[in-house]
Chains A and B, each alone.
Chain A
Amino acid sequence: MAGMCLLMLKTNICKVEFKNPVIAASGTFGFGEEYSAFYDVGRLGGICTKGLTLNKKEGNKGIRLHETRAGLINSIGLQNPGIDCFIENELPKMKKMNTVIIANLGGGSIEEYAEGVKKLSESEVDMIELNISCPNVKSGGMAFGIKSETAFEVVSKVKGYCKKPLIVKLSPNAENIVDMAVKCCEAGADALSLINTFKAMAIDIYKRKPVFDNIFAGLSGPCIKPIALRMVYEVCKEVNVPVIGIGGIESFKDAIEFIMAGATAVEVGTANFINPMVCLEIIDGIKKFMEDEGIKNIEEIRGIARR
Chain B
Amino acid sequence: MQLSYKSCKVAENINLSEDIYKLKVEGDYDIKAGQFFMIKSLNEEPILPRPISVHDFEEGYVSFLYQKKGRGTSIMAKLNVNDEIKLTGPLGNGFDAENIKGKIAVVAGGIGIAPMLYTVKSLKNCDIDLYVGFKDEVYEVDEFKKFVSNIYIATESGKYGYKGYVTDIFSPFEYNAVLCCGPEVMMEKVVKVCRDYATPIFVSMEKHMACGIGACLGCTCETKDGNKRVCKDGPVFYGRDVFINA
Contacts and interface: CB of A to CB of B under 8 A. Distances in A.
Contacts of A36: 1
A269 to B, nearest CB: 10
A72 interface: yes
A226 interface: no
B40 interface: yes
Interface stretch (B57-65, B186-194, B206-214): B206-214
Given A34-B215, A79-B220, A276 B5 contact: yes
Nearest to A24: B215
B49 interface: yes
B45 interface: yes
Given A38-B1, A58-B226, A275-B5, A71 B215 contact: no
Nearest to B46: A67
Interface residues of B, number: 32
A38 B214 CA distance: 13
Contacts of A222: 47
Contacts of B214: 30, 34
B206 to A, nearest CB: 13
Interface residues of A, number: 36
Contacts of A35: 213, 215
A1 B230 CA distance: 45
A74 B227 contact: no
A274 B40 contact: yes
Interface string B87-127: 01000000000000000000000000000000000000000
A70 B47 contact: yes
A67 B71 CA distance: 10
Query: What DSSP secondary structure best describes chain B's contact surface?
Result: loop
Contacts of A273: 47-49, 210-212, 216
B3 interface: yes
B210 A34 contact: no
A297 interface: no
Contacts of B232: 34
Contact of A276 (B46, B213, B218): B213
A136 to B, nearest CB: 11
Contact of A70 (B1, B3, B45, B211): B45
B245 interface: no
8 contacts: A27-B216, A63-B208, A72-B47, A76-B218, A79-B220, A270-B47, A273-B49, A274-B47
10 closest Cβ pairs, A-B complex: A30-B215, A37-B3, A65-B218, A273-B210, A34-B215, A34-B213, A64-B218, A34-B214, A273-B211, A65-B208
Given A34-B215, A64-B217, 5 more contacts: A30-B216, A34-B232, A39-B1, A64-B208, A79-B227
